[in-house]
Amino acid sequence: MESSNTQINFADFQQLIRKMYHQKDVARGIDGTFMWLMEEVGELATALRSGTQEERLGEFADVLAWLCTIANVAEIDLNEAILRKYGTGCPGCNKLACVCPDEEKP
């Protein structure tokens, strides 16, 4: 895959992750895969606090990859999930620009 000029959509990325890792992911199972996802979220938190831009880029990519991995193991199409929940706007107020009160989690 080429660098900055190449683009990938979310559905294609989930399929790419499936092609590369699905057998290993299914063997590891949801619980083991979830633990890897949480480890990557922790690494992202560290990179956000004190990492370089390059480290942040890598950690964001890792979190997305592990999210796709666990979705694949759980047989969830992330594109469908995103569209169902956020495709028409904020799930709380149904607006494209959220107007939910700050104390609420949209």
Domain boundary assignment for the chain:
10-75
Name the residue among 68, 48, 67 with its Cα closest to residue 56.
48
Q: Which fold has domain 10-75?
A: Helix Hairpins (1.10.287)
Name the residue among 32, 28, 55 with its Cα closest to residue 43.
55
Q: What average pLDDT score do residues 70-84 get? A: 96
The string of pLDDT tens digits covering residues 17-73 is 999 999 999 999 999 999 999 999 999 999 999 999 999 999 999 999 999 999 999
Name the residue among 61, 60, 76 with its Cα closest to residue 25.
76
**What's this model's pTM, rounded to 2 decimal places?**
0.86
